[in-house]
Amino acid sequence: MQIKVLVAYASKYGSTQEVAEKIAATLRENDLLVDLKPIREVKPLEEYTAIVLGAPLYISTSPTGSENHLASFRFQNTFLLNV
Ligand SMILES: Cc1cc2nc3c(=O)[nH]c(=O)nc-3n(C[C@H](O)[C@H](O)[C@H](O)COP(=O)(O)O)c2cc1C
């Protein structure tokens, strides 16, 4: 089975998106199938082997509530990146 990774991000001014794009490119260079998308567009996650979630911090909180959004999917293989 081919490993498929979701790289999802929240970004207000673009820094987190830029980092997410670089992570996705590196994973693709290593022959992984990668979906890259804003967290608000993420729906069912069953098809993914792992998730990389990028979110900025503003006054110690993520403005989009990304962690809560992802937690609602109860997905285990998640790597959280705060930019
Ligand atoms: C008003 C404001 C508040 C911030 N608060 C935090 C913070 O509490 N902790 C932190 O690590 N970074 C903080 N930052 C830095 C941002 O998280 C950082 O610039 C991030 O890369 C922005 O991502 P974005 O361009 O994807 O929105 C803050 C930045 C701004 C402008």
Q: Specify the CATH number for the domain of residue 15.
A: 3.40.50.360
Pocket test for ligand 1, best of 57, 80, 83 (most atoms within 8 A of CB): 57
Q: Which two tokens stand for residue 31?
A: 């022959």
Is it the case that residue 8 has pLDDT exceeding 60? Answer: yes
pTM score: 0.83
13 domain-assigned: yes
Q: Which domain holds residue 52?
A: 4-60+78-82
C-alpha 6: how far from its chain's center? 6
Beta carbon of 63 within 6 Å of any ligand 1 atom: no
- 4: helix, coil or strand? strand
Beta-strand runs (E) in 23-64: 33-38, 50-55
Domain presence at residue 47: yes
Map tokens 């990668």 to a residue: 34
pLDDT of residue 63: 64
Question: Residue 19 phi/psi, 5° resolution?
Answer: -65, -40
- What total number of domains does the chain contain? 1
**Is the distance from the beta carbon of residue 15 to the nearest atom of ligand 1 less than 6 Å?**
yes
Cβ–ligand 1 distance for 57 under 6 Å, the answer yes
Mean per-residue pLDDT over the chain, rounded:
82
- pLDDT tens readout for residues 32-59: 999 999 988 887 666 888 888 888 888 7
Which residues is 25 bridged to in the sheet?
A: none
